[in-house]
C-alpha cells in the first residue's frame, strides 16, 4: 500500500456496466453525451502515476483525495460535480446475493457541485488535495463499505470508477549486500533478537518421504549435508516446507506434514543445537499434482475440483496408477541460509586481548576472525554491544578490512543508520581511494541513504557506480546498483514532474532485471515497483514463471493473484488458476482476506460480484470467518 500523508490511495479497476437511466436525478452520459465523451479522453490522458480515491474517516466523513493539484483543476470545472456510490458487505451475502443492474451498485450521495467545493473543506497538504464530499448515511455507518467514485456534469454521469487495493512501492530497493570477507547479506529485522542477522549463502535441500511416513532416509540427508559442507558452517536461518501428496484425509495429511517438518527440525537441531530461526509451512502438494498430472494419461483430472479428485483417488486402481506421480509430491523443502565459520574459536575471556595481539602482529586475517566471533556473540546477546569499544583499530590502510567490517556490523545491529555508515565509508575511502570493495559498500550506503533523503549528489553517485567495474567488482553487482539507482531516480523525477525522463528510468529497470539473478524477494520488490508506475503487465510478466513452483514465496504468489484481479478477462487462464490454488493451500485466512473491504485490508469485496470468486469465497472462506 502507498500512503500519501494520512490517506490511502487506491487503484482504478473496472468501469461499471452501462445503463441509460440510473436514477431519478442522474443519467448515464458516458457514451452519449459529447461533453462526457471528451471528458473521458481528458481523464485517460492524465499521467498514470497520478492517484485518486475515496477516503472514509472514522467519524463518517467522506473525502475525495488526489495527489496532483494541477490535474485536479483540469478535471473539475464549473458545472461539474462529484459523488460516491456506497457498496456494503451485506450485498454479497452468500445465501442472498442479487446482482445489481444499472450503473449504481448501492447508495449514492447527493453530488457536491463545483461551485460548492470551497465551502467543503477543500485543502492542499504536501501536494495532496482533500475534498469533503459528504457523510455516510446513518443506516450504513455500522457496515463494511467501499465507495465508488462518480463524476458528473450537470445531471449526467461522465465517469464512474471502482477501486481495488494492491501493495505498491516506488522506493523498495533490491538487496545489495556488503563486502566483508566476502559479499554478505543482511536480513530484515529479526523477530527474535530485534536485530538483523547476516548470511553469505543460501541453498535448498529436498528430502523425499515415503507414503504415510514422517521418517526419512538418514544416509540420504547426511550425504547432502556433507556435500554442502554444512558442518563447517554456521546456519543462520532455515525455512521448511513440508508436503504430503493430495490423496487421503486432510486431517491425517496435516499430521504427516507436521511430523515431516518436525523430523527436519530434529536433524538441524542435532547439527546445530542453538539454531533458533526456523519457519515452517505445511501443505498438501496440489501445485505439483496439477502440473505433473498433465504428463500422464489422467490429464483430464487437471480440470476437476479438488474434493472430486480426492473422491476419485479412493479408487485403489486409480491411486495405484498415479502412485509414481503422487510419490514425487511427498517431500520436505528446506531453504538454508548460512555462512562459513570464522576460524578456530577463541575463549570469550581472551577475545579482546587476542584481538589486540593480532593487531600488534599485523595478523589481519586472525584479527578479522576474532572480530567476527565478537560480532556473532553480540548479535546472539552473549556479549554486550559495548564490547565493541575494546576492539580498537588503527586508522591505517593496512587495517581497512577491520574498519570496514565494524562499520557494517554497527549498521547491522542498529548502532548507526545509513547516513552515519555512508559518512564512515567516505572517511575509509580516504585511506584507499581505489579499493573496489570499499567503494561498493559506500555506493550501497549512499543508495540506502538516498532512499530516505534527498541529500545525495546524484551525478557523483552514478559516476562512482560506473567506476566499480574497473575496480574489480562483478558486473551483475554493478547492474543491481544501477537498477536501484534508477528506482530512486524515477521517484525523484516523478516528484519533479519530469514524466518523460521518469519513463526512461522505469524502462531501464525493465530492460536490466533480466540480467540479474533474482530471488522471489527481488521479484516481489520489482513487481510492487512496476505496479507503482501502473505497469501491471510488466509486474505480471516478472512473476508468472514462479507462481506454479512448489518453492515460490507466499508473498509472490499472492501478489500474482492480486494483479489478476485487475484483468477479469484473463484471470481464468491456467497460471492464474494454479496461483489461486497455491494461495488457498499456503494460507487460507490470507486468501479469504482478499475479499474484505479495502479499509479492512482486502483487495475489494466487490470482487464477489464475479461468480467465480463469490463461489470460491462462499465454499472456502465462510467457515474461516
Residue 326 in domain? yes
- 34 and 132 share one domain: yes
Mean pLDDT, residues 466-471 taken together: 96
Q: Which residue has the higher pLDDT, 5 or 298?
A: 298
CATH number assigned to the domain comprising residue 207: 3.30.1330.60
Verify that 100 and 228 share a domain, yes or no. Answer: no
Provide the 10 A C-beta neighbour count for residue 56. 20
3-state secondary structure 398-428: HHHHHHHHHHHHHHHCCCCCHHHHHHHHHHH
- Residue pair 196/413 in contact by the 8 Å Cβ criterion: yes
For range 364-369, the mean pLDDT: 93
- Considering 118, 139, 164, which residue would you say is the last residue of a domain? 164
| pLDDT at 1 > cutoff 80 | no
How many whole angstroms separate alpha carbon 203 and alpha carbon 237? 11
Q: What is the average pLDDT value for the chain, to the nearest integer?
A: 87
Q: Does residue 4 surpass a pLDDT of 60? A: no
End-to-end CA distance of the chain: 24
Q: Is residue 284 part of a domain?
A: yes
Q: Which of 309, 340, 371 is the last residue of a domain?
A: 340
Residues 44 and 155 placed together within one structural domain of the fold: yes
Nearest to 201 by CA among 174, 230, 241, 242: 230
Please tell me the number of Cα atoms within 13 Å of 411 on its side-chain side: 29
Q: Is 170 within a domain?
A: no
In a domain, 471, yes or no: no
Query: What percent of the chain has pLDDT above 70?
Result: 93
The verdict on residue 108 lying in a domain is: yes
What pLDDT, on the 0 to 100 scale, is given for residue 21? 34
pLDDT at site 3: 34
Do 60 and 114 reside in the same domain of the chain? yes
State the DSSP code for 21. Answer: B
Is the residue at 499 inside a domain?
Answer: no
For 97, 338, 339, the CA distances from 367, given in Å and listed in that order, are: 71, 22, 18
Cell numbers representing residue 478 in the block: 554493478
Structural domain boundaries enclosing 217: 197-340
Integer angstrom CA distances of residue 623 from 327, 586, 618? 31, 17, 9
Q: Does residue 142 sit in the same domain as residue 271? A: no
> Which of 328, 336, 334, 335 is closest to 208 using CA atoms?
328
Q: Which residue has the higher pLDDT, 340 or 292?
A: 292
pLDDT higher than 50, residue 19:
no
What is the average per-residue pLDDT within 473-501? 93
Q: Using an 8 Å Cβ cutoff, are 28 and 20 in contact? A: yes
Residue 531 has pLDDT above 70, yes or no: yes
Higher pLDDT, 568 or 169: 169
Higher-pLDDT residue of 242, 100: 242
Number of domains in the chain: 2
| pLDDT score, position 76 | 94
CA distance 620 to 97: 17
As a whole number of angstroms, the distance between CA 53 and CA 485 comes to: 30
Residue written as grid cell 450485498 = 91
Query: What backbone torsions phi and psi does residue 470 show, to the nearest 5 degrees?
Result: -75, -10
pLDDT at 23 over 70: no
Q: Tell whether 120 is covered by a domain.
A: yes
Residues in CB range of 286: below 8 A, 6 or more apart = 246, 306, 581, 582, 585
CA distance 110 to 81: 10
Q: What pLDDT is recorded for position 190?
A: 64
377's CB contacts (< 8 A; 6+ apart) are 348, 383, 387
Please say whether the beta carbons of 503 and 489 come within 8 A: no
CB 112 within 8 A of CB 45: no
Examine the pLDDT at 570 and tell me if it is beyond 70: no
CB 255 within 8 A of CB 261: no
Determine the Cα–Cα distance for residues 199 and 201; give it in Å rounded to an integer. Answer: 6
Is the pLDDT at 556 greater than 70? The verdict is: yes
Single out the residue in 298, 317, 340 at which a domain terminates: 340
The answer to whether residue 128 scores a pLDDT higher than 50 is yes
Based on the fold, state whether residues 149 and 272 are members of the same structural domain: no
Residues 263, 219 share a domain:
yes
Q: Are residues 27 and 153 in the same domain?
A: yes
User: Which pLDDT belongs to residue 295?
Assistant: 87
Give the strand pairing for 156-161 and 27-28: parallel
Mean pLDDT along residues 176-193: 76
Note whether residue 387 is domain-resident: no
Range picked from 158-167, 414-423, 434-443 for highest mean pLDDT? 434-443
Sequential DSSP letters for 84-143: EEEEEGGGG-TTS--PPPSS--SEEPPPEEGGGGGGGT-EEETTEEEEEEEE--GGGTTS
CA distances 384 to 270, 430, 492, Å, are 28, 31, 41
Do 227 and 271 reside in the same domain of the chain?
Answer: yes
Do 33 and 145 lie in a common domain?
Answer: yes
The answer on 145 and 282 residing in a single domain is no
Give the pLDDT score at 191.
60
d(C-alpha 237, C-alpha 201), whole Å: 11
Average pLDDT over residues 51-78: 90
Distance CA 52, CA 9 (A): 6
Of the ranges 344-348, 483-487, 574-578, the best mean pLDDT one: 483-487
The radius of gyration of the chain's CA atoms, rounded to the nearest angstrom, is 29
Q: Which three cell numbers stand for residue 296?
A: 500422464
| pLDDT tens digits, one per residue of 292-315 | 888 899 988 887 878 899 999 999
Q: Which three cell numbers stand for residue 197?
A: 542477522
Say yes or no to pLDDT of 13 above 50: no
157 with 211, same domain?
Answer: no
Distance CA 314, CA 322 (A): 12
More confident residue, 509 or 118: 509
Amino acid at each position: 500500500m502507498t500512503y500519501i500523508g494520512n490517506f490511502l490511495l487506491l487503484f482504478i479497476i473496472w468501469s461499471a456496466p452501462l445503463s441509460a437511466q440510473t436514477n431519478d436525478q442522474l443519467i448515464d452520459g458516458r457514451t452519449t453525451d459529447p461533453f462526457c465523451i471528451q471528458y473521458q479522453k481528458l481523464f485517460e490522458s492524465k499521467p498514470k502515476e497520478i492517484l485518486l480515491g475515496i477516503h472514509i474517516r472514522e467519524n463518517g466523513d467522506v473525502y475525495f483525495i488526489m495527489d496532483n493539484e494541477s490535474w485536479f483543476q483540469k478535471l473539475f470545472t464549473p458545472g461539474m460535480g462529484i459523488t460516491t456510490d456506497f457498496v456494503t458487505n451485506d450485498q454479497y451475502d452468500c445465501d442472498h446475493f442479487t446482482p445489481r443492474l444499472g450503473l449504481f451498485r448501492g447508495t449514492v450521495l447527493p453530488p457536491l457541485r463545483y461551485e460548492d467545493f470551497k465551502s467543503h473543506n477543500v485543502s492542499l497538504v504536501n501536494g495532496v488535495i482533500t475534498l469533503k464530499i459528504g457523510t455516510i448515511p446513518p443506516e450504513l455507518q455500522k457496515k463494511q463499505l467501499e465507495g465508488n467514485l462518480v463524476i458528473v456534469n450537470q445531471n449526467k454521469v461522465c465517469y464512474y470508477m471502482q477501486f481495488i487495493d494492491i501493495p505498491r512501492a516506488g522506493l523498495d530497493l533490491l538487496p545489495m549486500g556488503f563486502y566483508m570477507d566476502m559479499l554478505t547479506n543482511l536480513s530484515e529485522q529479526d523477530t527474535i533478537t530485534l536485530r538483523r542477522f547476516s548470511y553469505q549463502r543460501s541453498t535448498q535441500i529436498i528430502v523425499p518421504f515415503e507414503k504415510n511416513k514422517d521418517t526419512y532416509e538418514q544416509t540420504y540427508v547426511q550425504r547432502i549435508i556433507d556435500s554442502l559442507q554444512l558442518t563447517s558452517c554456521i546456519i543462520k536461518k532455515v525455512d521448511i516446507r513440508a508436503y504430503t501428496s493430495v490423496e487421503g484425509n486432510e486431517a491425517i495429511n496435516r499430521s504427516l506434514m507436521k511430523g515431516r517438518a518436525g523430523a527436519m527440525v530434529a536433524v538441524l537441531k542435532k547439527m546445530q543445537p542453538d539454531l533458533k530461526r526456523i519457519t515452517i509451512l505445511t501443505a498438501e502438494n496440489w501445485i505439483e499434482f496439477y502440473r505433473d498430472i498433465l504428463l500422464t494419461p489422467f490429464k483430464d483430472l487437471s480440470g476437476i475440483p479438488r474434493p472430486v479428485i480426492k473422491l476419485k483417488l479412493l479408487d485403489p486402481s486409480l491411486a495405484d496408477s498415479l502412485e509414481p506421480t503422487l510419490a514425487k509430491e511427498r517431500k520436505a523443502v528446506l531453504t538454508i541460509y548460512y555462512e562459513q565459520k570464522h576460524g578456530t574459536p577463541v575463549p570469550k575471556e581472551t577475545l579482546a586481548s587476542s584481538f589486540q595481539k593480532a593487531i600488534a602482529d599485523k595478523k589481519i586475517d586472525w584479527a578479522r576472525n576474532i572480530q567476527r566471533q565478537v560480532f556473532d556473540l553480540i548479535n546472539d546477546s552473549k556479549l554486550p554491544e559495548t564490547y565493541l569499544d575494546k576492539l580498537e583499530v588503527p586508522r591505517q590502510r593496512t587495517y581497512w578490512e577491520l574498519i570496514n567490517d565494524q562499520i557494517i556490523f554497527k549498521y547491522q545491529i542498529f548502532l548507526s543508520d545509513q547516513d552515519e555508515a555512508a559518512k564512515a565509508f567516505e572517511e575509509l575511502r580516504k585511506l584507499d581511494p581505489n579499493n573496489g570493495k570499499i567503494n561498493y559498500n559506500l555506493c550501497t550506503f549512499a543508495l540506502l541513504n538516498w532512499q530516505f533523503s534527498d541529500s545525495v549528489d546524484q551525478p557523483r553517485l552514478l559516476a562512482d557506480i560506473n567506476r566499480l567495474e574497473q575496480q574489480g567488482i562483478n558486473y551483475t553487482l554493478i547492474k543491481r546498483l544501477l537498477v536501484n539507482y534508477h528506482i530512486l531516480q524515477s521517484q525523484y523525477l516523478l516528484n519533479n514532474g519530469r514524466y518523460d525522463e521518469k519513463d526512461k528510468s522505469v524502462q531501464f529497470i525493465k530492460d536490466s532485471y533480466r540480467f540479474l539473478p533474482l530471488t522471489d524477494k527481488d521479484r516481489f520488490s520489482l513487481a510492487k515497483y512496476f505496479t507503482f508506475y501502473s505497469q501491471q503487465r510488466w509486474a505480471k510478466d516478472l512473476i508468472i514463471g514462479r507462481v506454479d513452483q512448489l518453492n515460490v514465496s507466499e508473498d509472490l504468489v499472492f501478489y500474482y493473484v492480486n494483479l489478476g484481479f485487475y484483468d477479469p478477462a484473463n484471470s481464468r487462464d491456467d497460471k492464474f488458476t494454479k496461483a489461486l490454488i497455491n494461495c488457498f493451500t499456503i494460507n487460507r485466512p490470507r486468501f479469504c482476506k482478499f475479499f474484505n473491504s479495502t479499509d479492512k485490508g482486502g483487495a475489494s469485496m466487490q470482487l464477489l460480484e464475479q461468480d467465480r470468486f463469490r463461489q470460491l469465497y462462499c465454499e472456502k472462506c465462510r467457515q474461516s470467518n
